[in-house]
């Protein structure tokens, strides 16, 4: 049953929905509250919700709830609908594929769409070497399979991950993920042979950003040598810009140096580009910013315009080291999801969404920096392209301030702006608008953010 609006014939979201914020009830409104009561009776408590408004429509940079409110979307489904919800090319390809067949299992009777997506991944990801890809259902599955492939190829077991990293919620990826609550608490025991290194986190590095740039790489290499042993390491996995951990951007030189260290010691360098990939940071992939070429790259989120799909792409000799039947899954590379991916990638290329991400950064960063100058609670503005964040601390210290962070986010929600928090300490507000968002809507969203800071911190 659809609440609170009159159904109309469906046409692509961007053409159908007014691109403006419009509140007709409080947030959440009465229909959403009724639906929330039903949710609480039917859905497990462990499944969280940031903002309990029930969506009936979405497109471009807005989402419309069951009460008829139109909210600005600065979350994009956690960087998933970068091409917008109901993007025309995605919707058309999905509809056409669904009318033909929705599933056969690629491991039983294959289909061209899976191959086409793998060909696109080979063309788009960094590196001119011969590549192979395998498709899965999610980012966590992609990471888990990348680790399997690296271990099989190297005949080694140890995997190095980083403080503040997030790689998923399956058993192996929980072991790789740094943050305990809510992702790991009392879900153990976890997979073994996982070793965690300090992340090059400029704001929080002892001695500050310059010390981080000078010392972080050497420290990581030393710890791997003394605590693990290079010859025991199958893979090093890292997000080029950390996502859930707080949009931490390592200093220039750290990622290239880490990749070179891996090459020197026969270690598979895995770039987890699940949140950073597909134009989000202003390049097709964040590794390109410093010409880093990973051995394996994991993708998901923005790959398919909202349908579940993940992938591992990498050097042919590494990917092909796994025996036939060693990779796969019943739904991996589902034909409808593959059709969506082809529509999303076509949209990114045709509309230069990497360039659009850079433009979003150009619009947002000056206003975020002005906010930081006005409100000392903002310790840092960081990120790249359309993957930006502000970290909040008690003024004059590095003590996290999650309470103010939550209060600002809540004020944004009540005014019709969807924002997300993140960070190991829960003190970061992150901004991930759809890359197709209009600049008027972007400006309005930033004004809502400014008003929220004024109300909470003024």
pLDDT of residue 15: 53
Q: Is 5 exposed, middle or buried (0-12, 13-18, 19+ CB in 10 A)?
A: middle
Residue 237 phi/psi, 5-degree rounding, is -120, 135
Listed residue (301, 293, 347, 333) closest to 116, CA to CA: 333
Residue pLDDT tens, the chain, 458 long: 333 333 233 334 445 799 999 999 999 999 999 999 999 999 999 999 999 999 999 999 999 999 999 999 999 999 999 999 999 999 999 999 999 999 999 999 999 999 999 999 999 999 999 999 999 999 999 999 999 999 999 999 999 999 999 999 999 999 999 999 999 999 999 999 999 999 999 999 999 999 999 999 999 999 999 999 999 999 999 999 999 999 999 999 999 999 999 999 999 999 999 999 999 999 999 999 999 999 999 999 999 999 999 999 999 999 999 999 999 999 999 999 999 999 999 999 999 999 999 999 999 999 999 999 999 999 999 999 999 999 999 999 999 999 999 999 999 999 999 999 999 999 999 999 999 999 999 999 999 999 999 999 98
Listed residue (140, 241, 232) closest to 192, CA to CA: 232
Please name the residue that has the structure tokens 């704001």: 203
pLDDT of residue 225: 98
Preceding amide of 42 cis, omega within 30: no
Per the CB < 8 A criterion, the answer to whether 314 and 149 are in contact is: yes
* Spacing of C-alpha 328 from chain mean position: 23
- Which neighbouring-strand residues pair with 336? none
pLDDT of residue 458: 84
Per the CB < 8 A criterion, the answer to whether 383 and 389 are in contact is: yes
SS3 86: coil
Please name the residue that has the structure tokens 């290329």: 349
Q: How many other CB atoms sit within 10 Å of the CB of residue 99?
A: 8
Please name the residue that has the structure tokens 């979350």: 75
SS3 342: helix
Per the CB < 8 A criterion, the answer to whether 416 and 69 are in contact is: yes
Q: Name the token pair of 130.
A: 């011969």
Per the CB < 8 A criterion, the answer to whether 309 and 277 are in contact is: no
DSSP string, 216-229: HHHHHHHHIIIII-
Q: Name the token pair of 157.
A: 């077991």
- Please give the sequence-ordered ranges of beta strands (E in DSSP) within 264-305, or none if there are none: 268-272, 296-299
Please state whether beta strands 55-59 and 268-272 pair in parallel, antiparallel, or not at all (unpaired).
unpaired
């Amino acid at each position: 049953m659809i609440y609170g609006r009159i159904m109309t014939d469906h046409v692509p979201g961007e053409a159908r929905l007014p691109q403006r914020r419009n509140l007709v009830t409080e947030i959440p409104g009465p229909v959403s509250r009724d639906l929330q009561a039903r949710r609480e009776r039917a859905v497990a408590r462990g499944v969280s919700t940031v903002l309990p408004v029930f969506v009936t429509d979405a497109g471009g940079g807005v989402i419309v709830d069951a009460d008829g409110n139109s909210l600005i979307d600065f979350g994009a489904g956690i960087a998933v609908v970068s091409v917008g919800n109901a993007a025309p090319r995605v919707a058309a390809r999905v509809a056409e594929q669904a009318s033909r067949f929705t599933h056969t299992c690629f491991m039983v009777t294959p289909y061209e769409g899976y191959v086409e997506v793998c060909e696109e991944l080979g063309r788009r990801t960094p590196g001119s070497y011969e590549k192979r890809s395998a498709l899965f259902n999610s980012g966590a599955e992609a990471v888990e399979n990348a680790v399997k492939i690296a271990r099989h190829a190297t005949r080694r077991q140890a995997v190095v991950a980083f403080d503040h990293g997030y790689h998923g919620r399956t058993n192996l990826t929980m072991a790789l993920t740094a943050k305990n609550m809510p992702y790991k608490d009392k879900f153990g025991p976890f997979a073994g042979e996982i070793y965690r290194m300090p992340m090059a986190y400029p704001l929080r590095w002892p001695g500050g950003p310059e010390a981080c740039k000078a010392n972080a790489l050497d420290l990581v290499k030393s710890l791997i040598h003394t605590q693990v042993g290079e010859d025991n390491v199958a893979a090093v996995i890292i997000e080029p810009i950390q996502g859930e951990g707080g949009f931490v951007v390592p200093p220039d030189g750290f990622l290239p140096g880490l990749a070179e260290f891996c090459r020197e010691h026969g270690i598979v360098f895995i770039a987890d580009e699940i949140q950073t990939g597909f134009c989000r940071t202003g390049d097709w992939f964040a590794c390109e910013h410093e010409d880093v070429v990973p051995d394996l790259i994991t993708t998901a989120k923005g790959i398919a315009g909202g349908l579940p799909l993940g992938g591992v792409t990498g050097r042919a000799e590494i990917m092909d080291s796994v025996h036939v039947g060693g990779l796969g899954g019943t739904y991996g590379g589902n034909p409808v999801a593959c059709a969506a991916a082809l529509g999303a990638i076509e949209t990114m290329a045709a509309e230069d969404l990497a360039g659009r991400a850079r433009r979003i950064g150009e619009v947002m960063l000056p206003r975020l920096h002005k906010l930081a100058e006005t409100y000392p609670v903002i310790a840092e503005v960081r990120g790249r392209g359309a993957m930006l964040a502000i970290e909040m601390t008690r003024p004059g210290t590095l003590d996290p301030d999650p309470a103010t962070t939550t209060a600002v986010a809540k004020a944004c929600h009540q005014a019709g702006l969807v924002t997300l928090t993140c960070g190991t300490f829960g003190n970061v507000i992150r901004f991930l608008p759809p890359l197709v968002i209009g600049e008027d809507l972007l400006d309005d969203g930033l004004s809502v953010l400014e008003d929220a800071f004024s109300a909470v911190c003024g």
